[in-house]
Amino acid sequence: MAEQIVKAEYSDLMQKSYIDYAMSVICQRALPDVRDGLKPVQRRVLFAMNELGLNHDKPHRKSARIVGDTMGKYHPHGDSSIYEALVVLEQDFKKGMALVDGHGNFGSIEGDGAAAMRYTEAKLKKFTQDVYLSDLDKDVVDFVPNFDETEKEPEVLPVRVPNLLINGAEGIAVGMTTSIPPHDLAEVIDAMKAYMDNPDITVKELMDYVQGPDFPTGGLVVNQKDLLEIYETGTGKIRVRGKVELEQGKRKSDRDRLVISEIPYTMIGAGIGKFISDVFGLIESRQTSDIVDVSNESSKEGIRIVLELKKNADVEALKNLLYKKTKLEDTFGVNMLAIANGRPETLSLKDIIAHHMRFQYQINQRKYTTLLNKELEQKEIKEGLIKACDIIDLIIEIIRGSKNIKEVKNCLVNGETGNINFKTKKSKEAASGLRFTERQATAILEMRLYRLIGLEILALNKEYEEILARIERYQDILTNPDAMARVIKKDLDRIKKEYALPRKTVITNAKEAVVVEKPVEEQKIYFLMDRFGYVRAIDEATMERNRETVEKEEKYLIPCSNFDKICIFTKEGNMHQLKLSDVPMGKLRDKGTPVDNLCNFDSSKESIVALVPSRELAGNWLLFVTEHAMMKMVESDEFIVSKRTIAATKLNDGDKVLAVLHFPAMAYTGEDTVVLKSRDGYFLRFPMEQISVKKKSAVGVRGMKLTDGDEVQEIYFPEKMENPVILYKEKELDLKKLKLAVRDGKGTKVRR
Phi, psi of 263 (to 5 degrees): -115, 160
- Buried-state track 681-699, b at ≥16 Cβ within 10 A, e below 16: bbbbbbbbeebeebebeeb
Q: How far is CA 488 from CA 159, 200, 469, in A?
A: 12, 19, 20
Residue (of 236, 263, 221, 229) closest to 179 by Cα position:
236
Do you know the residue count of the chain? 752
Which helix (DSSP H) or strand (DSSP E) does residue 355 occupy? helix 349-390
What one-letter code names the amino acid at 480? N
156 within 8 A of 33, measured Cβ to Cβ: yes
User: How far is 389 from 383, CA to CA, in rounded Å?
Assistant: 10
User: How far is 621 from 504, CA to CA, in rounded Å?
Assistant: 64
User: How far is 471 from 368, CA to CA, in rounded Å?
Assistant: 10
* Other CB atoms within 10 Å distance of the CB of residue 511: 7
User: How far is 297 from 257, CA to CA, in rounded Å?
Assistant: 13
The dihedral sign for the CA sequence 319, 324, 326, 330: positive
User: How far is 32 from 35, CA to CA, in rounded Å?
Assistant: 9
| Strand 506-507, strand 220-221: pairing | parallel
What one-letter code names the amino acid at 272? I
**Active-site residue flag, 231:** no
HSE-up (13 A, CA, CB side) for residue 532: 7
Q: How far is CA 397 from CA 229, 244, 404, in A?
A: 79, 87, 13
User: How far is 586 from 241, CA to CA, in rounded Å?
Assistant: 34
List 10, 119, 464, 499, catalytic entry = 119
Which helix (DSSP H) or strand (DSSP E) does residue 354 occupy? helix 349-390
The dihedral sign for the CA sequence 267, 268, 270, 275: positive
Residues with active-site annotation = 119
